[in-house]
Amino acid sequence: MQRKKMRAGDQPLVRWTLIILAVVTTLLMLVIPLILIFETAFSAGAGTYWENLANRYTVHAIGLTLLVAALTVPINLVFGVFLAWLVTRFEFPGRKALITLIDIPFAVSPVVAGLLYLLLYGSNGWVGSWLMNHDVQLMFSWPGIVMVTVFVTCPFVARELIPLMQQQGREEEEAGVVLGATGWQLFRRITLPNIQWALLYGVVLTNARAVGEFGAVSVVSGNIRGETNTLSLHVELLYQDYNVVGAFAAASLLAGIALITIIVKSFVEWRQARQRAPLNELSDNR
Amino acid sequence: MSISIEGITKHFGSFQALKNISLEVPDGQLVGLLGPSGSGKTTLLRIIAGLETADEGRILFEGEDVTRLHVRERRVGFVFQHYALFRHMTVAENVAFGLDVLPARQRPPAAEIRQRVETLLEMVQLGHLAQRYPSQLSGGQKQRIALARALSMKPKILLLDEPFGALDAKVRKDLRRWLRTLHEEFHFTSVFVTHDQEEALELSDQVAVMSAGRIEQIDSPQQLYAQPSSRFVFDFMGNVNVFAGEADGEILRQGEAWVHLPEAPAAAQQQLYMRSHEVRLQSTPASHAHLPLRIESVSLVGAEVRLELAPQGWHAEDLWEVGITHAQFNSWQPSRGDQCFAVPQVAHAIAVNAHTPVTLRWRAGEMDDPAAMI
């Protein structure tokens, strides 16, 4: 009797093997390392932990990381919204190519991105040498770090918004403009409320990546302690100094940010699902 | 406010959506744009609203050129095919939107806006739904809210894109009647798009039939029905019986069937178009027509009995369809497989390569013996 109720492939052996495999992998690959970070960070006691964090260079690295995130997120927020609006609301030649181009930062290794920026904006680069003559240094200082971080994180917001805005179409905005709304009113009162959760989701992802970016930043920062060291670079430096506990203390901050990101992300996903659910249920009722 | 459309042309890439369209909509009229999908009717409506720009041509409201005027400044009411209600706003907020976004100097005080919204919702008989969200409404309710919202700015021109397309037959009928009433009450000039000929004929003062980016015919519903001006309009108006044959003098012949025309046609290859009410059925052939048919199906639903008929000994692309009264049905008692003969009373002849039909009428004397009539 029991057997008849089973669906195809629903054999207890297969099911339990898969479940155990998934749980074990998750534990080994994700949960245990995460716990280990905090364990090692606190291995010399809470006092040492706080001391490590209060270290002058660590504090500076935290400050620089926050500055980079604080600049990157708004820049990419505006850029992402603008781009998504552009490609979903207007028809122009090269529109499809633009949608593809947005993905370049995902496709290119961040180290390569860093090198490209070095090539362009470094003191020997095409743009960089000209800027050098005007006393502007971008590479090996914080503006360079912000630039590559912006590059690496620029697809997140746009990628979240484009499919949603395509699906929602432009009819509501057209209805708004016929009723006399200006461009800004349309955006504020019609577009934004419809995309707010996807936008927040994109921002959370952008922020997580901006804080944690290593490859591209390490190429353009020059790793000057107390000057151009972001938190992720600082972790590496400490580790190379054999200050394992200090390295893990700094790493625990990044891990903490990651945890917060995941929590916010789940909340936003839950809100988005809730926002969509009644629409799906009722959109076809006549 | 009258609308003049002068020589509008529109391309989408290499596709020509509108070809030199001109149309006059007099003040206060309700004009239907009727056509199959892809005929350009929605594009034309959107150009009138200003949601699309024409490549060539002008749009005038009351003689004033608005071609270069932004949608926002045109002050038309527009009802979208899928209503396009603002999904995150309540019904009341939706209706108030146009007033809310007015510049501060022109915006009425909040209390007055509330009052206006209430009045509009009462008008569409949905005052009790003011605090609902669009997703909680039925299709017919959404449509009425969309109308109330479009009328909130007291437009002189109301444009409707397939206004009743997605609704079921009963709701459609109510809404149609109701739109007519509103139209008489508010006296706006209105253009609406539809692919439903019945809707176009019932609602409009004038109907413009469109096909492939052109206007095929503009006429009053009565005129359009009585005198379709082209093969396309005939086909589109539906339910037309066709007899194609070759003329030999006054006799148009195909297989075993023939029709004696009132006069010899100019070209030999002719098609006769007959609407179901222009044909009579008899149990014996008439002297001027021999069109044997076999009854394929009998449908008793509605005001008349509809018979589907298959040609016997000649060929037609579609089955013929003829309506008889219930009284005729009761005295004749036709059933599937019975044979009968079609007798045209009025027919519209179109030569094979021609575009416009010639209407043919048979004089009463040529019609035949009443004994054979069913």
Check A286 against B72: CB less than 8 A apart: no
Check B171 against A174: CB less than 8 A apart: no
Q: Tell me the longest C-alpha to C-alpha distance in chain A.
A: 84
Please check whether residues A276 and A210 belong to one and the same domain: yes
Check B152 against A179: CB less than 8 A apart: yes
Residue of B nearest to A283 (CA): B135
Q: Which chain A residues are closer than 8 Å to B88 by Cβ?
A: 193-194
User: Which stretch of A173-182, A220-229, A271-280, B95-104 has the lowest confidence by average pLDDT?
Assistant: A271-280
Please say whether the beta carbons of B241 and B321 come within 8 A. Answer: yes
DSSP state at residue B373:
B
Top residue of B43, B48, B97 to mutate, by most chain A CBs within 10 Å, is B97
* pLDDT per position as a tens digit, B52-83: 999 999 999 999 999 999 999 999 999 998 89
Please check whether residues A195 and A57 belong to one and the same domain: yes
Check A177 against B166: CB less than 8 A apart: no
DSSP state at residue A136:
-
Q: Which chain B residues are closer than 8 Å to A179 by Cβ?
A: 97-98, 101, 149, 152-153
In chain B, how many H helices and how many E strands?
10, 22
Check B84 against A171: CB less than 8 A apart: yes
Of A172, A177, A282, nearest to B71 by CB-CB distance is A177
Q: Which residue has better confidence, A85 or B167?
A: A85
Closest by CA to A214, choosing from A90, A78, A114, is A114
Please check whether residues A207 and A176 belong to one and the same domain: yes
Q: Which chain A residues are closer than 8 Å to B87 by Cβ?
A: 172, 194, 279
Q: Which chain B residues are closer than 8 Å to A282 by Cβ?
A: 135-136
H or E element that contains B144:
helix B139-151
Please check whether residues A33 and A59 belong to one and the same domain: no
* pLDDT per position as a tens digit, B317-372: 888 988 888 888 888 888 888 888 888 888 888 888 777 888 888 765 544 444 45
Residue A84 clears pLDDT 60, i.e. is over it: yes
Please check whether residues A63 and A196 belong to one and the same domain: yes
Top residue of B66, B72, B142 to mutate, by most chain A CBs within 10 Å, is B72
Please check whether residues A8 and A130 belong to one and the same domain: no
Of B85, B86, B153, nearest to A180 by CB-CB distance is B153
Check B149 against A179: CB less than 8 A apart: yes
Residue of B nearest to A282 (CA): B135
Dihedral sign for Cα A259, A260, A265, A268, please.
Answer: positive
Q: Residues A4-22: what's their mean pLDDT?
A: 81
The CATH number given to whatever domain includes residue A128 is: 1.10.3720.10
Residue of A nearest to B158 (CA): A178
Could you tell me the pLDDT band of residue A9, with boundaries at 50, 70 and 90?
low
- Distance of residue B241 Cα from the nearest chain A Cα, in angstroms: 35
Q: Which chain A residues are closer than 8 Å to B150 by Cβ?
A: 178
Check B167 against A286: CB less than 8 A apart: yes
Residue A219 clears pLDDT 70, i.e. is over it: yes
- Distance of residue B135 Cα from the nearest chain A Cα, in angstroms: 6
Please check whether residues A142 and A211 belong to one and the same domain: yes
The alpha carbons of chain A give a radius of gyration, in whole angstroms, of 24
Residue B123 clears pLDDT 90, i.e. is over it: no
Q: What is the pLDDT of residue A1?
A: 45
* pLDDT per position as a tens digit, B270-297: 888 888 888 888 888 888 888 899 999 9
Check A178 against B76: CB less than 8 A apart: yes
Q: What is the pLDDT of residue A85?
A: 92
- Distance of residue B176 Cα from the nearest chain A Cα, in angstroms: 16
Q: What is the pLDDT of residue A86?
A: 92
Please check whether residues A276 and A177 belong to one and the same domain: yes
Q: What is the pLDDT of residue B290?
A: 87
Q: Which chain A residues are closer than 8 Å to B77 by Cβ?
A: 178
Taking CB atoms within 8 Å and a gap of at least 24, the contacts of A265-271 are A265/A201, A265/A204, A265/A205, A268/A197, A268/A200, A268/A201, A268/A204, A269/A201, A271/A197
Q: Which chain A residues are closer than 8 Å to B113 by Cβ?
A: none
* pLDDT per position as a tens digit, A119-149: 888 888 888 888 888 888 888 888 999 999 9
Please say whether the beta carbons of B283 and B372 come within 8 A. Answer: yes
Domain that holds residue A8: 1-41
What angle do helix axes A192-212 and A142-153 make, rounded to 10 degrees? 130
Q: Which residue has better confidence, A137 or B311?
A: B311
Residue A205 clears pLDDT 60, i.e. is over it: yes
Please check whether residues A95 and A211 belong to one and the same domain: yes
Of B84, B135, B153, nearest to A278 by CB-CB distance is B135
Q: What is the pLDDT of residue B206?
A: 92
pTM: 0.78
Please check whether residues A244 and A221 belong to one and the same domain: yes
Q: Residues B194-199: what's their mean pLDDT?
A: 86
CATH architecture of B239-372: Beta Barrel (2.40)
Residue B146 clears pLDDT 90, i.e. is over it: yes
Q: Residues A274-279: what's their mean pLDDT?
A: 59
The superfamily in CATH containing domain B3-228 is P-loop containing nucleotide triphosphate hydrolases (3.40.50.300)
Closest by CA to B188, choosing from B301, B340, B29, is B29
Q: Residues B30-47: what's their mean pLDDT?
A: 92
Closest by CA to A208, choosing from A228, A231, A192, A236, is A231
Could you tell me the pLDDT band of residue A280, with boundaries at 50, 70 and 90?
very low
Check B101 against A286: CB less than 8 A apart: no
Closest by CA to A229, choosing from A142, A122, A112, is A142
Distance CA(B50)–CA(B74), nearest Å, equals: 7
Q: How many domains does chain A divide into?
A: 2
Would you kindly state where each structural domain of chain B is located, as residue ranges? 3-228, 239-372
Residue of B nearest to A183 (CA): B72
pLDDT cut 70: percent of chain A above it: 93
User: Which stretch of A56-70, A230-244, A270-284, B331-345 has the lowest confidence by average pLDDT?
Assistant: A270-284
Q: What is the pLDDT of residue A4?
A: 55
Residue B300 clears pLDDT 90, i.e. is over it: no
Q: Which chain B residues are closer than 8 Å to A281 by Cβ?
A: 135
Q: Number of CB pairs < 8 Å for A and B?
A: 75
Please say whether the beta carbons of B344 and B362 come within 8 A. Answer: yes
Residue A202 clears pLDDT 60, i.e. is over it: yes
| Three-state secondary-structure class, residue B113 | helix
- Distance of residue A92 Cα from the nearest chain B Cα, in angstroms: 11
- Distance of residue B73 Cα from the nearest chain A Cα, in angstroms: 7
Of A178, A182, A279, nearest to B135 by CB-CB distance is A279
Top residue of A91, A168, A174, A178 to mutate, by most chain B CBs within 10 Å, is A178
- Distance of residue B7 Cα from the nearest chain A Cα, in angstroms: 24
Residue A283 clears pLDDT 70, i.e. is over it: no
Look at strands B64-65 and B56-61 and give their pairing. antiparallel
Q: What is the pLDDT of residue A284?
A: 40
Top residue of A92, A179, A195, A279 to mutate, by most chain B CBs within 10 Å, is A179
Please check whether residues A72 and A31 belong to one and the same domain: no
Of B71, B86, B167, nearest to A172 by CB-CB distance is B86
Of A176, A193, A279, nearest to B97 by CB-CB distance is A176
Check B135 against A182: CB less than 8 A apart: no
* pLDDT per position as a tens digit, A154-180: 999 999 999 999 998 889 999 999 999
Distance CA(B336)–CA(B330), nearest Å, equals: 15
Residue B232 clears pLDDT 90, i.e. is over it: no
Please check whether residues A154 and A126 belong to one and the same domain: yes
Residue A70 clears pLDDT 90, i.e. is over it: yes
